[in-house]
Amino acid sequence: MTANAQINELTAQYYDRAWHAHENGELVGWVTSNFPQEIIQTMDLCVVYPENHSATLAARGDDRQCCMEAEAEGFSNDICSYAKVNFGYIEKMDEISLKIPLPDYLLCCSNICHQLMKWYQYLARRYSIPMILIDIPYNTEYDTDETRLEYIRTQFWEAIGELEKITGKKFDETRFSEVMKISSQVGNMWNRISDILAMEDAPYRGTDLFNYMGLVVCQRGKETTLQALTQLYNELKSKTPRSSGVRKKPHRILYEGICCWPAMTKLALSFSMQKMNMVGAIYTNAYGIEYSTFDDMLRAYTYVPNAVSIERATDMRRNELDKKNCDGMLIHMSRTCKIWSGIMYEMKHQLETTANIPIVTFDGDQADGQCFSEAQYDTRLQGFRELMDGMMEDRIE
Amino acid sequence: MDEIITLGIDIGSTASKCILMKNGKEIFGEEVVFIGAGTEGPMTAFDNVCKNAGISRSDIAFTVATGYGRNTFEMADDQISELSCHARGGVFLFPNVKTIIDIGGQDAKVLKIGSNGKMSNFLMNDKCAAGTGRFLEVMSRVLNIPIDDFAKMSLASSSKIDISSTCTVFAETEVISYLAKAVKREDILAAVHRSIASRVGNLARRAGVEEDCVLTGGVAHDKGIVHALEEYLHIPVHTNRYCQLNGAIGAALYGYSLYARENGLEVR
């Protein structure tokens, strides 16, 4: 079986389990994307990820209907569009073809943003269900200190105790050690897949990472995920370079910000048309979490790329630009992700002072296609390519 | 043919602009038609500029299209973004230019020019009509003053008021409320100009404005904007009678370079 077939099968099994959870005496949890999934895998909980679901709905073109419905319900059009799509979905789920089952409990970690807390509080109130919160505030430190770790550590064990009561499942520390090991191996394999793009002739399109990432978001701590990713890595390594024999090599770009899911196909096509390969994405890197100890794991959850100190965040990007030998950086200013887009003006400025490459922004949104203008995007992307062409010509001259 | 004739066409959201050039050096034809992408404007501009210059289509060695309608103009041999074309045109008109501010019908952009005379960076407005030509059109309608009269009236302002709203629609409401209070239209117009100047000026400051600074686009004909920008940026802002045709000039220049490259010619 190919890696792609394995990934599709794992995804199908994952949703199948959620849909039959109640028949099998299980509860369904809704969980935020960067909640410590080691807890979930250790306790073998049945969960789904609404952010992932909203992204998929946006990529399928269901975003507009969901956003309009949420706004009609009274939610501001300025709130996170992942939340907005989710609110629209729960109102109109009969009309949406791609469904996820409703939750019996909620797992929320605030390490990627604080709007998640309000999103999940609303759901908890609406369905009268328990919500477990692990609060990891915006990390203003370059290196996470012990005080912050202790704050998270305490909540970590409290969350497990609460979950045991809610689900009736037990947390086994031996299994926890195994899950941590597998999770780190999966993180490592994910990073290795991404690092293949550092090759001069990258053998695959970096935008494919957006397609694969659902697996590492939802099933990072599983042996089956490790197997599928290992096979994917081997398949990609053995592929012929995409630009082999092509006279003019594609420009190598780093993509910054959340994927603009409503225009994802457009993005992939336009990169191809403008002779660019996305060889790195800070967004997908967020799931390449590697660690060796329990404290390292907790620390890793404080280094989310959109919610760390500007110095560390900028270094993350600088390192990726160097590692992937990028010719340019394209920044998606996602209208409703204030926490991520808000830091970009200053970060762009800081990167421009050291990296001698074009850095260009475009406006869009992670899940509300109404915030994306195709013509404006096209002009920026073409101008970006022409800037890189000019710099390339100068290097050759 | 001794002379290589190239045509540049800039198809914007509100106007279609054409330039004819000889050997990538001399402008000998120009045309502006005040309808843009998706209309018969581009073809009308193309035909008119040829007719007025006394040439036929077959005399044109190479045509480059730019602007929002660049991808759909069938007469073009190639298309290049308006960012690169405005940079190239700006350097042609102002050899010492370092910053080009272009205010178009639906966007505003700031282009930085490097020491090699090429675009080194650019910034564009976000998805909003504030600080663009559309903003002026809306104000022209509300104030019932032709855009051509804006400069004269704005420069005659004697009292300073502010338009604080960024949003074009809310700014329109502010203007209406000033009219209701019988504020002089000269003062309102000057405030409109300052509003655009601060919006676009901030974009320029973010890009790192350097002299020589040039304003292009049809809006550059409005001396009130030029004055407001100079006051906001504290540097001279240069314009040229070809400011609205700057993108088309860049396109015609690219046309010459592309033709020369394709035919193995030395660029004269």
Instruction: Pick the residue from chain B with its C-alpha nearest to A333.
Output: B126
Q: For B109-134, how does the pLDDT look when each residue is reduced to its tens digit (9 = 90+)?
A: 999 999 888 999 999 887 677 778 88
Cis peptide before B162 (omega within 30 of 0): no
Going by the DSSP 8-state scheme, the letter that residue B149 receives in this structure is G
Beginning with the edge strand found earlier in the chain, give each strand of the sheet holding B213-216 in spatial order.
B119-124, B108-113, B99-103, B213-216, B237-238
For residues A126 and A289, what is the distance between their CA atoms, to the nearest angstrom? 33
Helix (H) or strand (E) holding B112: strand B108-113
Q: Are A299 and A149 in contact (CB under 8 A)?
A: yes
| pLDDT score, position B165 | 78
Q: Which of A193, A182, A345 is nearest to A257 (CA)?
A: A345
pLDDT at B171 over 90: no
Longest dimension (CA), chain B: 67
- Write down the H helix ranges in B182-222: 185-207
| pLDDT score, position B268 | 56
- Mutate which: B118, B123, B128, vs A, most A CBs within 10 A: B118
CA dihedral A180, A182, A184, A187 (to 10 degrees): -140
Chain B CB contacts of A373 under 8 Å are 127
Indicate the residue of B68, B81, B118 with minimum beta-carbon distance to A383.
Answer: B81
pLDDT band at B139 (very low <50, low <70, confident <90, very high): confident
Task: Record the tokens describing residue A323, joined without a space.
Answer: 């590692």
| pLDDT score, position B5 | 96
- Contact assignment for B121 to A383 by CB distance below 8 Å: no
Q: How far is B38 from chain A (nearest CA, A)?
A: 13
| pLDDT score, position B46 | 96
B204 touches chain A (CB under 8 A): no
Instruction: Pick the residue from chain A with its C-alpha nearest to B119.
Output: A387
- Contact assignment for A382 to B81 by CB distance below 8 Å: yes
- Contact assignment for A358 to B206 by CB distance below 8 Å: no
Q: For B40-89, how does the pLDDT look when each residue is reduced to its tens digit (9 = 90+)?
A: 999 999 999 999 999 999 999 999 999 999 999 999 999 999 999 999 99
| pLDDT score, position B267 | 67
Going by the DSSP 8-state scheme, the letter that residue B164 receives in this structure is -
Quick one: how far is CA A277 from the chain centroid? Answer: 19
| pLDDT score, position A246 | 54
For residues A291 and A180, what is the distance between their CA atoms, to the nearest angstrom? 8
In the predicted model, residues of chain A with pLDDT beneath 70 are 241-247, 394-397
Residue pointed to by tokens 């209070």: B181
pLDDT band at B1 (very low <50, low <70, confident <90, very high): low
Provide the sign of the torsion angle of the four alpha carbons A24, A29, A31, A37, taken in this order: negative
Q: Is the ipTM of this complex over 0.85?
A: no
pLDDT band at B256 (very low <50, low <70, confident <90, very high): very high
Chain A CB contacts of B127 under 8 Å are 363, 371, 373, 376
Beginning with the edge strand found earlier in the chain, give each strand of the sheet holding A251-256 in spatial order.
A276-281, A251-256, A328-334, A359-364
